[in-house]
Amino acid sequence: MKICIYGAGAIGGYLGVQLARAGADVSLIARGAHLAAMREHGLTLLAGGETHTVHPRCTDDPAELGVQDFIIITLKAHSITGVIERMQPLLGPHTRIVTAVNGIPYWYFFKHGGQYENSTLESIDPGGRQWREIGAERAIGCIVYPATEIEAPGLIRHVYGNNFPLGEPSGEVTADVQRLADLFVAAGLKAPVLDRIRDEIWLKLWGNVCFNPISALTHATLDVICTDPSTRALSRAIMVETQAIAETFGVKFRVDVERRIEGARKVGAHKTSMLQDLERGRPMEIDPLVTVVQEMGRLTGIATPALDSVLAMVTQRARIAGLYDGVSTPSDPRALAVA
C-alpha cells in the first residue's frame, strides 16, 4: 500500500513514523530544514518516553513518487489550493485523498443530499478548484485529535492523543476506508470508521471557530478563555450560532455547549493553533475555521453577529501582521464597524 503524506510537519510526521513502523510504503513531502534533516538522519518521533526513527522517502517534488493508493493531506487547509498542480503526478484512477485538516473540507457537500448537494464553498475552495482538480469523489474524511510539535528539524514530539476518526462522505464503510482504518490501528492509532463523519467534523470545529480567533486576539490560553466570564460568554455565543447553522445541514451534536466548553477548559494552559501561528509569524487558519462558518450561515440565512464581529477583528489582526492572504471579507456592516 503506497501512502504519501503531503505536508509532513508535526501531525504528518507523527503519522509518517507510525505508519512506516507498521510496514506501510510511506513517502513524505516536506520542505526546508525539516526536509534536509529527514533526508540526512531520518525522521524521529519522541513519544511516551520512547524514541523511534524511520527512514522513509522524503522529497519536495511529488513527481518523484508516482501514483499513490492514499494521499494523506496534513497541510494547513488554506495551503491546499496552492499545491493542486504539484499533486497531480500522485493521482491515479483509484487514488484516495484523506483530508487530515482542520475545519470544513473541500468535499463537504459531496454525497450530502438535499438542496446543497455538490455545492462548493468559496472561503475554503476558491473557484471550486480542489473539488474539480483533486476530486470530491476521491475524498475520505479524517479528524485529527492528537497534539504534536516539531521540536527540531527531523524531530517530532508527541504530546497527547492518537485518535483519527475516518469516514466516507456517503457514510458507507467501503473497502478503501476499512483498509486505511486497519492500517492506522496496526500503527497503534485509533481510527474508528464513522457513518456520520460530518458530525465529528463539526464537533471539533465547534471549539476551533471560537477559541482560535479569541486566543489570537487576546493571547489567552484555553483555560483562561473558558474561565474568564467575558470570553466564555463570547465563546458560547459563537458556538450557539455555529450549532444553529450545522443543525440546518442535519448535523447532530453528541454534547451540549457547556460540556464542550468545559472539555476545552480541562485541557489547561494550551495555546490554540491559531495563536501558535500568530506567535511564529505563520499564516493563520482563519478561513477554514471561521470564515467558512460565516459563509455557511449566509447559505442558510442564519445571522451570526458574534462570529461576524470576531472574524472581522481577527482578520484585521492577521492583515496588520502580514499573516493573512485568504478570501475573508465580512459581509455584515456591523462587523466592519467593530474592526
Residue 334 lies in a domain: no
Mean pLDDT score, 127-144: 96
Mean pLDDT score, 48-55: 95
- 267 and 278 in a single domain? The answer is yes
Other beta carbons within 10 Å of 82 = 10
Whether the pLDDT of residue 125 is over 90: the answer is: yes
Q: How far apart are CA 336 and CA 315, in angstroms?
A: 10
Which one-letter DSSP state was computed for residue 271?
A: P
Look at residues 172, 195, 218 and tell me which one is the last residue of a structural domain.
Answer: 195
- 123 and 102 in a single domain? The answer is yes
- 131 and 219 in a single domain? The answer is no
- 45 and 152 in a single domain? The answer is yes
Residue 296 lies in a domain: yes
Q: Which domain holds residue 212?
A: 198-321
- 125 and 271 in a single domain? The answer is no
- 127 and 112 in a single domain? The answer is yes
Reported as a pLDDT band with limits 50, 70 and 90, residue 328 is: very low
Phi-psi region of 42 (alpha: psi -120 to 50; beta: other; left: phi over 0): left
Q: Are 203 and 39 in contact (CB under 8 A)?
A: no
Residues linked to residue 23 through DSSP beta bridges, in sequence order: none
Mean pLDDT score, 140-169: 95
Look at residues 195, 226, 252 and tell me which one is the last residue of a structural domain.
Answer: 195
CATH number of the domain at 114, please. 3.40.50.720
Mean pLDDT score, 39-62: 96
- 213 and 316 in a single domain? The answer is yes
Give me the amino acid identity at 254: R
Reported as a pLDDT band with limits 50, 70 and 90, residue 76 is: confident
Q: Which tens digits make up the pLDDT trace of 260-270?
A: 999 999 988 98
Mean pLDDT score, 181-193: 98
pLDDT of residue 336: 24
pLDDT of residue 327: 58
pLDDT of residue 337: 25
- 124 and 175 in a single domain? The answer is yes
Q: Are 222 and 261 in contact (CB under 8 A)?
A: no
- 303 and 178 in a single domain? The answer is no
- The alpha carbon of 226 is separated from its chain's Cα centroid by a whole number of angstroms, namely 22
Residue 117 lies in a domain: yes
Pairing type for strands 25-29 and 57-59 reads parallel
Look at residues 143, 172, 195 and tell me which one is the last residue of a structural domain.
Answer: 195
CATH number of the domain at 312, please. 1.10.1040.10
Residue 337 lies in a domain: no
Residue with cell 471550486: 128
Residue with cell 510539535: 149
The domain total for the chain is 2
- 45 and 164 in a single domain? The answer is yes
Mean pLDDT score, 112-135: 95
> Which residue intervals of the chain are DSSP H helices?
10-21, 32-41, 84-87, 129, 175-186, 197-218, 222-227, 229-248, 257-267, 273-279, 286, 292-300, 305-320, 333-338
Residue 80 lies in a domain: yes
pLDDT of residue 325: 64
Residue 57 lies in a domain: yes
Mean pLDDT score, 22-27: 96
- 49 and 64 in a single domain? The answer is yes
Which residues are known to be catalytic?
204
For the ranges 92-101, 249-258, 330-339, the lowest mean pLDDT is seen at 330-339
Integer Rg of the chain from CA = 19
Mean pLDDT score, 124-153: 95
Residue 70 lies in a domain: yes
List Cα–Cα distances, 211 to 128, 199, 221, 270, in angstroms.
28, 19, 9, 11
Mean pLDDT score, 202-217: 96
Give me the amino acid identity at 306: A
| C-alpha cell, 49 | 518516553
Whether the pLDDT of residue 333 is over 60: the answer is: no
**297/336: higher pLDDT:** 297
pLDDT of residue 334: 27
- 173 and 42 in a single domain? The answer is yes
Pairing type for strands 139-142 and 96-99 reads parallel
Residue 103 lies in a domain: yes
